[in-house]
Structure 1
């Protein structure tokens, strides 16, 4: 028995240069690559502004979810990577709760020294299930 797969790309340059998809659906499980703060043209958004970066990152997650007919309520797990976590801890907690509301997926937050782009302060990856009863 084979499992159906489907992928999605935002169309930003680094997808081809790095060789990955933003979303990869395997059966009913959607794996969303680490999202960051960029606009539709691939321009970085929110340099030096942690809150703007987190909000834009969640918007990019929503765009990938939408392409597969899902919403944030389908997310079962997320991993949040934060540069200078101690400095941004209160903000990341508040923004995470604001985004998810009453939906509480499994979650891991990791403080790191750097991300792919020098101005990048946050990256978030998620796993979603499309077969959840909502």
Structure 2
């Protein structure tokens, strides 16, 4: 009875203790990722060049760099790319989707996660693409 009571009382604290930010920079208004239990929420990632700029780069380049940024957050959190269950892709031009899909299909592991692709009016830094993701560790 005491053991059961102790486990019951400790359960909320155990679940809370598993929640943590991934790559939180106090100068920024968000974390790159957030772990809640066995779920990782990856904030929207972009694919800038080595100088932090996205202007003038191709959708293929930005997609490669964006997926690499997702992978960095996923792995830093102790997850794998195969743990991804849902991805939301934001693009500023629907004409870029076929080329983006070529890179996406090549770099994202099988089975591919569920995905939505949304056209937006604009992205920070004049990016052409931004991807957010959710991963669940089994």
Structure 1, residues 27-53: CA drift from partner, whole Å, max 9, x if none? 00000000001367x712563311100
CA contact (8 A) 2:54 2:125 kept: no
User: 1:62 corresponds to which residue?
Assistant: 71
5 Å-filtered alignment, 1:77-116, equals: 77-85=86-94, 87-116=95-124
Bigger helix share: 2
User: 2:41 corresponds to which residue?
Assistant: 31
**Structure 1 length-normalised TM:** 0.83
Q: Extract structure 1 runs of 4+ deviating beyond 6 A.
A: none
5 Å-filtered alignment, 1:31-50, equals: 31-38=41-48, 43-45=52-54, 47-50=56-59
Cα pair distance change 1:9/1:101, threshold 3 Å: closer
CA contact (8 A) 2:83 2:136 kept: yes
Count of residue pairs brought into register by the alignment: 124
**Structure 2 length-normalised TM:** 0.80
Q: Structure 2 regions of 5+ residues with no counterpart?
A: 1-11
Q: Structure 1 regions of 5+ residues with no counterpart?
A: none
Root mean square deviation of aligned Cα: 2.0
In the alignment, does 2:16 pair up with 1:9? no
